[in-house]
């Protein structure tokens, strides 16, 4: 495993191609990552204080424009559904991705924060320990289960039959069942889980393989099928709390002072990995 320390990337050294802007659209507000979701066929963005808009990625034309409320805490696209939770109304909305029409909505606790989908289950809550975790049926919006107490977890990640969750600055990470919330497995990290308040601390790098930011400058690896955890890499400098991104066959670890530590992992270590949306 090779490790390379690079400065902040401000230009592409591997290509002399010029990147041209295809289109642009004024948002009439400050853009935030939590108000943006991008797929191969859709760009969903929050704009004009209360509107959620679907744009054609080819030319930026508007497909639909609907009211959802102010500053979404999260916007998630899964299959033919778009899910959003605004800040001014503690309500989870499920929209038809093609038309923007509301399919269902459900009340959620104030300041739920996290919004993640695994198969047919929508998980909400757990940000900063303000709320319990609640699981809703993706098709109907029916409440499936709710934890008895408030849960403090980093942004959960879909994994196996459920979700990986873990309390910031704790060394214990759990896999909970998406159907009922019970604990399926648990692992002890070599160092405390990093607290990335505005994004993810966990990257999915394979069908059952995950990399977790822990300690001041390390990544831990969990492999579900082998039920193992180990320290995957330790950087030579302090790292940001953000989960690593994966691009060009390399792992990109943001450093806490800017720039990146870049890791060339074994070929089988990141099968099916993709760049985290938060990076």
As a whole number of angstroms, the distance between CA 133 and CA 152 comes to 9
| Block residue for tokens 């805490």 | 73
Task: Measure the N-to-C terminal CA separation of the chain; round to a whole number of Å.
Answer: 22
As a whole number of angstroms, the distance between CA 166 and CA 191 comes to 12
Global pTM value: 0.87
43-89 confidence digits (pLDDT tens): 999 999 999 999 999 999 999 999 999 989 889 999 999 999 998 88
- Pair (86, 9) in one structural domain: no
Q: At which of 100, 118, 151 does a domain end?
A: 151
Q: At which of 120, 151, 182 does a domain end?
A: 151
Would 25 be classed as within a structural domain?
Answer: no
Radius of gyration of the chain measured on its C-alpha atoms:
19
Helix (H, G, I), strand (E, B) or coil at 156: coil
Chain-wide mean pLDDT for the chain? 89
173-200 confidence digits (pLDDT tens): 999 999 999 999 999 999 999 999 888 9
102-151 confidence digits (pLDDT tens): 999 999 988 888 999 999 999 999 999 999 999 999 999 999 999 999 99
As a whole number of angstroms, the distance between CA 138 and CA 119 comes to 8
Identify which has the larger pLDDT, 241 or 269: 241
Q: At which of 114, 130, 151 does a domain end?
A: 151
In which element (H, E) is residue 118 found?
A: strand 115-118
pLDDT given at position 109: 87
- Pair (126, 209) in one structural domain: no
162, 118 contact by CB (below 8 A): yes
Q: Quick check: 243 pLDDT over 70?
A: yes
| Block residue for tokens 């009211």 | 67
CB atoms within 10 A of CB 43: 18
- Pair (178, 143) in one structural domain: no
- Which domain CATH number covers 143? 2.40.128.630
- Pair (223, 115) in one structural domain: no
Would 24 be classed as within a structural domain?
Answer: no
Number of domains in the chain: 2
**CA dihedral sign, ordered 129, 133, 138, 143:** negative
- Domain that includes residue 278, residue range: 1-18+153-279
Q: Which residues pair with 264 in a beta bridge?
A: 2
Would 245 be classed as within a structural domain?
Answer: yes
Would 181 be classed as within a structural domain?
Answer: yes
Q: Which residues pair with 106 in a beta bridge?
A: 92
């Amino acid at each position: 495993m090779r490790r390379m320390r690079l400065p902040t990337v401000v230009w592409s050294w591997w290509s002399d191609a010029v990147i041209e802007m295809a289109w642009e659209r004024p948002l009439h507000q400050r853009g935030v990552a939590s108000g943006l979701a991008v797929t191969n066929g859709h760009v969903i963005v929050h704009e004009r204080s209360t509107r959620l808009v679907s744009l054609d990625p080819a030319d930026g034309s508007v497909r639909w424009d609907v009211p959802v409320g102010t500053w979404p805490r999260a916007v998630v696209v899964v299959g033919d559904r778009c899910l959003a939770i605004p800040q001014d109304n503690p309500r989870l909305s499920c929209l038809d991705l093609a038309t923007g029409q509301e399919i269902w909505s459900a009340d959620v606790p104030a300041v739920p924060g996290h919004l993640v989908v695994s198969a047919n289950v929508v998980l909400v809550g757990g940000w900063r320990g303000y709320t319990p975790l609640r699981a809703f049926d993706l098709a109907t919006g029916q409440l499936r289960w709710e934890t008895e107490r408030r849960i403090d977890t980093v942004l959960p990640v879909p994994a196996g039959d459920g979700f990986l969750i873990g309390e910031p600055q704790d060394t214990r990470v759990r896999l909970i069942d998406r159907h009922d919330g019970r604990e399926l497995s648990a692992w002890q990290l070599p160092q405390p889980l990093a607290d990335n308040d505005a994004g993810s601390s966990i990257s999915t790098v394979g069908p059952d393989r995950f990399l977790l930011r822990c300690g001041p400058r390390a990544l831990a690896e969990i492999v579900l099928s082998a039920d193992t955890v180990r320290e995957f890499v330790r950087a030579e400098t302090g790292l940001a709390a953000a989960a690593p991104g994966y691009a060009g066959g390399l792992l990109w670890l943001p450093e806490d002072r800017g720039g990146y530590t870049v890791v060339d992992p074994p070929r089988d270590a990141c099968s099916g990995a993709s760049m985290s949306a938060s990076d």
